[in-house]
Structure formats: structure tokens, C-alpha cells
């Protein structure tokens, strides 16, 4: 948590806090865990904030975290609803940053309800059949929504090559018993293993904690560290 964030990550964290996308307090999650922080990607609705997040996604794709080469894909898929503007803005930003490589890349998203008239179908945007699909979404906590998206893409004949999220909350899977003290493996780790695909994030919980150190919000940091200790993965 003490390593310095790269400039684009630090800039993204700053935009998320200043834009009120990343909030501190007490929040009940989809998993029923009570979290001292919440990241609402639906709040990137102002042009400057949308640019901040699409730039950070695009740079994460190009730099592929810290390692190797950029992830290769044909289509960026944004699960409805929150993923739709994120995927669209990201493919546009990639084409700005590297037109030669990304100008002909596509976006696509799912309908929440299948359309049975007109052009019909469950997908809006580029057809997925036989294409390499990169999922761009907001946050991973338990990974449930990501599994659903993978299922939908595969049903359409798409090949899921990776998942990119804005925030990896670094949490364990919920225990079947519902007991929070049960050791469980990491939500993201299980997706990586089960599907054999990379799961990238702009920021992790450690990045947020590290990025906030020395900014005078010691109580928030302490509560995030306690939360992390409670819900961290066993592996
Ligand atoms: P899965 O990890 O795939 O189940 O998805 C977690 C979902 O919870 C996200 O897609 C969000 O809809 C929501 N969420 C946030 O948006 N921000 C948070 O900080 C935490 C959650 C959450 O409820 O866990």
C-alpha cells in the first residue's frame, strides 16, 4: 500500500474523490457487507469526469497494469447500464491515444430485456460472434455481475479475453454459510482461475489507501484498513 501510484492512477483517484464518485462513510453493499467507502461509477456523468475515467481505462489497457504488452481485443463490452457509457467512452479514448491501433475497434452492450421486434436480439453495437471481447465495468466485489456478463457474451459466440474494472475492492467471495469470518478465496482470483482470463483494474483498495496516506484523512484510512482485514481473501 506504500508504493507510489503512477501519475495516471493518482490523477484518476483525485478526480474520483473531487467528483464525489468515491465516498467515505457507511454503505451497505450488494453483498450486505457494510463498507466505509463506496465507489459509484454512475457518478462520472460530467464531461470532465467521463474523460478522467475513460483516459484511465485506456491507459490501463495500453499499459496492461505494469506487465507485458497491451491486451488484444476486437470489442469493448459494457454491461448495462453502468458499463454502457464506460465502454463507449473508452473505445473513443483509445482511438484518440493510438488511432492506428484502435480506430477500428468496436463497442457493444447488452439489453436488460430482449427486444422481439425491429432488429431484435439481446446486444446493441458490434455483433460478438467469433470476436475477442474485453469487458469494461465499474467495480468488482464478489464478481457475480462479471460472471453474468461472461455468460451473455459466450452465449452470443464472443470470446472473452479479459475484464477491466475501475476498482478492485480486493475482497473474498461470500461464504455459502453467510458467515463473514469464514476464510474464502479472492473474488477476482477465482474469476481469473475459472475462466483463465486476466482481470485488470485501474485502482485497488490498496491503491486508494496508499494514495490517501498523508492527505489528512487518517480516520477514513483506518476504517478502510479494518474493512480490508475483515474481508481479505485467504489465498
Ligand atoms: P460484483 O462484484 O460483480 O458482484 O459487482 C459488484 C457491484 O456492486 C458493482 O457492479 C456495483 O454495482 C456495486 N458496487 C459499487 O458500485 N461500488 C462499490 O464500491 C461497491 C459495490 C458493491 O455493492 O459491492
Q: Is 115 a catalytic residue?
A: yes
Give the ipTM.
0.96
Give residues with Cβ within 8 angstroms of 183, minimum separation 6.
172, 234
For the chain, the average pLDDT equals 92
Burial class of residue 141 (count of CB atoms within 10 Å of its CB; 0-12, 13-18, 19+): buried
> 168 C-alpha to center of ligand 1: Å?
10
C-alpha cell at 58: 485506456
Question: What pLDDT is stored for residue 116 in this prediction?
Answer: 72
Q: pLDDT class for 65, splitting at 50, 70, 90?
A: very low
Residue whose CA is closest, atom 16 of ligand 1?
A: 40
125 by DSSP, 3-state: which?
Answer: strand
> 119 C-alpha to center of ligand 1: Å?
32
Distance (Å, whole) CA 13 – CA 66? 17
Assessment of whether the complete model's pTM goes beyond 0.90: yes
Distance (Å, whole) CA 188 – CA 173? 9
Q: pLDDT class for 178, splitting at 50, 70, 90?
A: confident
Q: pLDDT class for 68, splitting at 50, 70, 90?
A: low
pLDDT at 74 over 50: yes
Q: What is the mean pLDDT of residues 26-42?
A: 95
Q: Is 117 a catalytic residue?
A: yes
Amino acid at each position: 500500500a506504500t508504493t507510489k501510484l503512477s501519475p495516471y492512477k493518482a490523477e484518476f483517484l483525485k478526480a474520483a474523490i473531487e467528483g464525489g464518485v468515491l465516498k467515505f462513510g457507511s454503505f451497505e453493499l450488494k453483498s450486505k457487507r457494510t463498507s466505509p467507502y463506496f465507489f459509484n461509477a454512475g457518478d462520472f456523468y460530467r464531461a470532465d469526469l467521463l474523460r478522467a475515467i475513460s483516459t484511465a481505462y485506456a491507459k490501463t489497457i495500453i499499459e496492461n497494469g505494469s506487465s507485458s504488452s497491451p491486451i488484444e481485443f476486437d470489442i469493448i463490452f459494457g454491461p448495462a447500464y453502468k458499463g454502457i457509457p464506460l465502454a463507449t467512452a473508452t473505445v473513443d479514448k483509445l482511438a484518440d491515444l493510438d488511432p492506428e491501433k484502435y480506430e477500428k475497434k468496436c463497442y457493444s452492450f447488452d439489453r436488460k430485456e430482449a427486444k422481439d421486434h425491429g432488429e431484435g436480439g439481446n446486444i446493441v453495437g458490434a455483433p460478438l460472434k467469433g470476436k475477442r471481447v474485453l469487458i469494461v465495468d465499474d467495480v468488482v466485489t464478489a464478481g457475480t455481475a462479471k460472471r453474468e456478463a461472461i455468460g451473455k457474451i459466450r452465449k452470443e459466440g464472443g470470446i472473452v479475453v479479459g475484464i477491466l474494472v475501475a476498482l478492485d475492492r480486493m475482497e473474498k467471495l461470500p461464504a455459502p454459510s453467510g458467515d463473514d469470518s469464514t476464510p474464502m478465496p479472492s473474488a477476482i482470483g477465482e474469476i481469473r482461475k475459472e475462466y483463465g482470463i486476466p482481470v485488470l483494474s485501474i485502482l485497488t483498495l490498496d491503491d486508494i489507501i496508499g494514495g490517501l496516506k498523508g492527505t489528512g484523512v487518517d480516520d477514513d484510512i483506518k476504517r478502510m484498513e479494518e474493512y480490508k482485514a475483515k474481508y481479505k481473501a485467504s489465498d
